[in-house]
Amino acid sequence: MSDCDKFKPLFSSYIEGDLFPEKRKSLEDHLALCPPCARAVVRLKEMCNSLRSMQVLTTSPDFEYKLHQQIANIGNSHSIQFSIPIQNWKIPVAASLVVLVGVSVFIMVNSSDQGSVNIPARPSSTVNQVNPHNQAERSVLPGRNSDADAILIAQDSLKNDSSRGLRDKGLKLIDEK
Amino acid sequence: MTENTTLKRKKVTDEVLIARFQQGDVQAYDTLVRRYKDQLLNYVYRFVGNRNDAEDLVQETFLRVYKNKHYYKEIAKFSTWVYTIAGNLAKTELRRRKRRKIFSVSNFVNEERDYDIPDTANNPEREVDGFIKDDIIQKAIEKLPAKFKEVILLRDVQGFAYEEISQILNIPLGTVKSRVNRGRLKLQEDLKFLFEPEFQTNKESN
């Protein structure tokens, strides 16, 4: 490492007067003998002065107005952020309620069917006629093309199926006794 | 000197203002904005080299101060906090530009030493013009790597103490000093012709 390279890292501290006396002395001795380093130190000083006195910019006159507008937007976006989760909550809650009510009704209907002994069973021929599992059969029934009719048929058949099940179970119990 | 000291004592400190703002005093926030908007604009502008972008970034800085006021703790100076936010935003902007490859430094700086030998015969007044000189320095600053640029701007343009720079950038004091020195040497190498003593003598004789 040459003397110049050794002293270069001290230039900054030197121009700021931040060197210990011994180091400052040795640097000044070197500068006295080395014109390139002496010039570099002068340039460094000049440059630092120029950096300090660079043109000062000022913000545009509407800077604060724009800032306040942005702050107001934050307020608005906050309210939107609050409303979106609430809306998002409502949809699944409503859907869950619908499903819950549907399941409860289904259970209640089933339990009432099982509980009543007096429900007469339809003849098996009728049951076979409206088999809900047979899509093709259901769709070709004359005069039964609408969805409402299809639902009614399905409900009937479910009732009949469950009644038939109960009837069979009852007959079995009677036989056993 | 005594008058200045008295004035400083009377002036409400930034830390008091941010504490008031944390308790809901919006006027305290406005005072802080007025105190720092120009300083930050100069810092960020020297960093990114575009005035409009700089102003947007300063706006974003104050928005973050507004939104994150409760994150400020009095263990640090307000100036340290706000400069850290602005500096991080400026660095992110530079990285974003680099990624999108829209970052275009003027050819004047990009070309190999195309300003090392000034053509004083053609336009002797050019170099003495303050605005052009500022512009040349600005371009050279932009050319510096970010780690040197930030310390040079904080130390030489903004006038922060080394300890404060160390806190703003969250790097050791020794690293700050070393980077300041290396950054200055690099910058003065790039701006040799502007500050060359012989050139200054020629200019004066002309």
Read off the pLDDT band of A60 (50, 70, 90): very high
Read off the pLDDT band of A153 (50, 70, 90): low
Integer CA distances (angstroms), B156 to A7, A12, B99, B150, B184, in order: 21, 11, 29, 10, 9
Q: Which residues of chain A make contact with B54, given a CB cutoff of 8 A?
A: 57
Comparing alpha-carbon positions, the chain A residue that sits nearest to B66 is A71
Q: Does A17 touch chain B (CB under 8 A)?
A: no
Provide the Cα torsion B172, B174, B180, B183; round to 10°.
-90
Q: Does A44 touch chain B (CB under 8 A)?
A: yes
pLDDT of residue B39: 95
Q: Which residues of chain B make contact with A43, given a CB cutoff of 8 A?
A: 188, 191-192, 195-197
**Taking a C-beta distance cutoff of 8 angstroms, is the pair A105, A97 a contact?**
no
Q: Does B30 touch chain A (CB under 8 A)?
A: yes
For range A51-71, the mean pLDDT? 92
pLDDT in tens, A107-120: 988 877 665 544 44
* Locus of tokens 């990114």: B48
Instruction: Flag the least confident range among A12-16, A41-45, A124-128.
Output: A124-128
Predicted model pTM: 0.62
pLDDT of residue B133: 85
Q: Does B67 touch chain A (CB under 8 A)?
A: yes
CB-CB neighbours of A92 under 10 Å: 9
Write a three-state SS string for A103-128.
HHHHHHHHHHHHHCCCCCCCCHHHHH
The overall average pLDDT reported for chain A is 75
pLDDT of residue A154: 64
Pair of tokens at residue B197: 């003593």
Q: What string of pLDDT tens digits covers the 206 residues of chain B?
A: 445 555 455 689 999 999 999 999 999 999 999 999 999 999 999 999 999 999 999 999 999 999 999 899 877 899 999 999 999 999 999 888 888 765 444 444 444 444 444 444 455 555 456 778 888 999 999 999 999 999 999 999 999 999 999 999 999 999 999 999 999 999 988 888 887 755 555 554 54
User: A136 versus A165: which is more confidently predicted?
Assistant: A165
Pair of tokens at residue A134: 């047979």
User: Angle at Cα A113 formed by Cα A111 and Cα A119, nearest 5°?
Assistant: 160
Instruction: Decide if B59 and A11 are in contact by the 8 Å CB cutoff.
Output: no
In single-letter form, the type of residue at position A175 comes to: D
Comparing alpha-carbon positions, the chain A residue that sits nearest to B38 is A58
Task: Look at residues B87, B94, B86 and name the one whose alpha carbon lies nearest to residue B62.
Answer: B86
Instruction: Decide if A66 and B59 are in contact by the 8 Å CB cutoff.
Output: yes
Comparing alpha-carbon positions, the chain A residue that sits nearest to B131 is A55
Q: Does A48 touch chain B (CB under 8 A)?
A: yes
Read off the pLDDT band of A161 (50, 70, 90): low
Pair of tokens at residue A60: 């545009």
Read off the pLDDT band of A87 (50, 70, 90): low
